[in-house]
Amino acid sequence: MANNGSIEETIIDLAQLSDHAQVVYAVRHLTAQMGFDENQQSLIATAASEASTNVIRYAEKGKVTLRAVGDGDRVGFEFVVEDRGPGIKDMEAAMEEGISHGHGLGLGLSSIKRIMDEFDIQSKPGTGTRIVARKWRRNA
Ligand SMILES: Nc1ncnc2c1ncn2[C@@H]1O[C@H](COP(=O)(O)OP(=O)(O)OP(=O)(O)O)[C@@H](O)[C@H]1O
Ligand SMILES: [Mg+2]
């Protein structure tokens, strides 16, 4: 995914479970500023929150980068959630709805993919995991 026209970014460190609240707040704030409607703001915040919760749960720490992106005359919101944790061994299983190796419902990754317009996940055992997701703003 090319990144032309990035405006400003917000970086949030993830170190404890409560940090995901800051992610939700910042995503809602930024997407509202960008003109996403309330429904879209909540969906995008949910997606970013799921990715952040995974980092804290499975990798202990990491960070989230939030930014507006432009592509031609489209405006979008992007989040990058990354960690240097254990990585995901079986990506196919992890992306499947209902499969959890932790204690959740296994809906997190599949819901991020469903909510966002673009979704990319890179993960290597021992190296960590990086998710890049984008949602384009629809003009009313
Ligand atoms: N950042 C990560 N580092 C290591 N493993 C991860 C990471 N994110 C997800 N996983 C693995 O992928 C699986 C699927 O993640 P997903 O978020 O879809 O479900 P879950 O976290 O198990 O449950 P839920 O999100 O519904 O509470 C996890 O059980 C975990 O094994
Ligand atoms: Mg999860």
Residues in CB range of 139: below 8 A, 6 or more apart: none
Tens of pLDDT, residues 74-89: 999 999 999 999 999 9
pTM (two decimals): 0.91
Q: Say what the pLDDT of residue 7 is.
A: 56
Q: Say what the pLDDT of residue 99 is.
A: 67
Distance 106 CA to ligand 1 centre (A): 6
List, as one string, the DSSP characters of 24-69.
Answer: HHHHHHHHHHTT--HHHHHHHHHHHHHHHHHIIIIIS-EEEEEEEE
Q: Say what the pLDDT of residue 2 is.
A: 47
Distance 73 CA to ligand 2 centre (A): 33
Q: Say what the pLDDT of residue 31 is.
A: 97
Q: Which residues of the chain have pLDDT under 70?
A: 1-7, 99, 101-106, 139-140
Closest by alpha carbon to 19, among 67, 51, 41?
51
Q: Say what the pLDDT of residue 66 is.
A: 98
- Domains of the chain plus CATH, in order, are 9-136 (3.30.565.10)
Cβ atoms 30, 36 nearer than 8 A: no
Tens of pLDDT, residues 7-31: 589 999 999 989 989 999 999 999 9
| Single-letter residue type at 47 | A
Does 50 sit in the ligand 1 pocket, CB within 6 Å? yes
